[in-house]
Amino acid sequence: MLLKPRINDDLKTAMRAGDARRRDALRLLLAALKQREVDERKELADGDIIAVIDKMLKQRRDSIAQFEKGGRQDLADAEKFELEVLQAYMPQALSDAEIAAAVVAAMSDTGAAGPTDMGRVMAALKAKLAGRADMGKVSALVKSKLTS
């Protein structure tokens, strides 16, 4: 099933069930999607929707860390709930072994020899791993492989 209709159906289900927290999280997601559609003047494909959700997940993780650092567990819990709701729409995450294999394959495909080739390797990996792996961790792995 396409993501946008699935999100809309889940919103309707949450509204019928009286689940205000889930309803609000889904409305926030749909608003972000609509904003991007208006900005780019096009209908978003599933890949674009995953990119928006990935950005929102990063924002939630940063917020959780800041709220916990500031001693605001109530706000951190609210962000964690939104994180769980958003995570349900992401594709299955890759294992560390699968990510490592993709990094090795990308390095051989691009002919990377040293740290100066990191941009080419990351560009190749971003297309393959977007939404399925934490690109910060992937970047650290690529850097360690290229420097060793």
Domain boundary assignment for the chain: 3-87, 96-147
Q: Which residues does 8 contact at the CB level (< 8 Å), separation at least 6? A: 30
Three-state DSSP class for 20? helix
Question: Which CATH architecture fits 96-147?
Answer: Orthogonal Bundle (1.10)
Question: For residue 123, how many other CB atoms are within 10 A of its CB?
Answer: 11
Question: For residue 21, how many other CB atoms are within 10 A of its CB?
Answer: 12
Query: How many Å apart are CA 110 and CA 93, to the nearest integer?
Result: 24
Cβ(8)–Cβ(16) under 8 Å? Answer: no
**pTM for this entry:** 0.74
Q: Do 96-147 and 3-87 fall under one CATH topology?
A: no
- Per-residue tens of pLDDT for the chain, all 148 residues: 588 999 999 999 999 999 999 999 999 999 999 999 999 999 988 888 988 998 999 999 999 999 999 999 999 999 999 999 999 998 888 888 888 888 888 888 888 778 888 888 888 888 788 777 877 888 888 888 888 7
What CATH number should be reported for the domain whose range is 3-87? 1.10.1510.10
